[in-house]
Amino acid sequence: MKFNRAVSRTAAVALAVSAAFSAASVMAADPQDNPRFMKMDTNKDGFVSRDEVKGHRWLDQAFDQADENRDGRLDAAEFIKADAIQDRIAAGNYVSDTVIKTKLKAALLNKKGLRSKDLDVEVVGGEVLLSGFIRSEDQRTRALEAANSVKGVAGVRDAMVVK
């Protein structure tokens, strides 16, 4: 059953990515046809600058790849490309986080002296949050060791409570 959920989740991510690329290719390069471009173009000059994308998760990473003429700003067509790149980055991060979460749950199950079913695992951007109830500080140590042993984990936050 768990395999089927994983396959369904992977299929959903693949479908979302392909839908994003399809939507991007269907949209015209006219800024009036792209409400997101219009919203991002805060100074209404017909271009989106690096300053205008600051703080938008992953779009600043996609900016350089999409800026084909290297003028430091995106026209409507380049913005569509940046939007598609952003969607691809987001989907890749989601898949990576799901893989880390799966590996960590397996590591917790294999850890002797730890009731892993009492722990919740969340992963965002490689950062792990362990929460739930544990019976001792020894279990906390075991859970943190398991989390730090998983490849791809960028950091671990401890929200476990000794009960």
Q: What is the pLDDT of residue 12?
A: 57
Q: Which of 27, 113, 122 is nearest to 77 (CA)?
A: 27
- Taken in order 130, 131, 137, 139, the sign of the CA dihedral is negative
Q: What is the pLDDT of residue 24?
A: 44
Q: Is residue 112 pLDDT above 60, yes or no?
A: yes
Q: What is the mean pLDDT of the chain?
A: 83
Q: What is the pLDDT of residue 150?
A: 95
Angle ∠(49,54,56) on CA atoms, nearest 5: 115
- What pLDDT digit, counting tens, does each position of 43-78 carry? 999 999 989 988 876 677 789 899 999 999 999 999
Q: Is residue 26 pLDDT above 60, yes or no?
A: no
Q: What is the pLDDT of residue 27?
A: 43
The CATH classification number of 2-94 equals 1.10.238
Structure letter (DSSP) for residue 56: S
Q: Is residue 106 pLDDT above 80, yes or no?
A: yes
Q: Is residue 4 pLDDT above 50, yes or no?
A: no
Q: Which CATH number fits domain 111-162: 1.10.287, 1.10.240, 2.30.30, 3.30.1340?
A: 3.30.1340
Domain coordinates of the chain in residue numbers? 2-94, 111-162
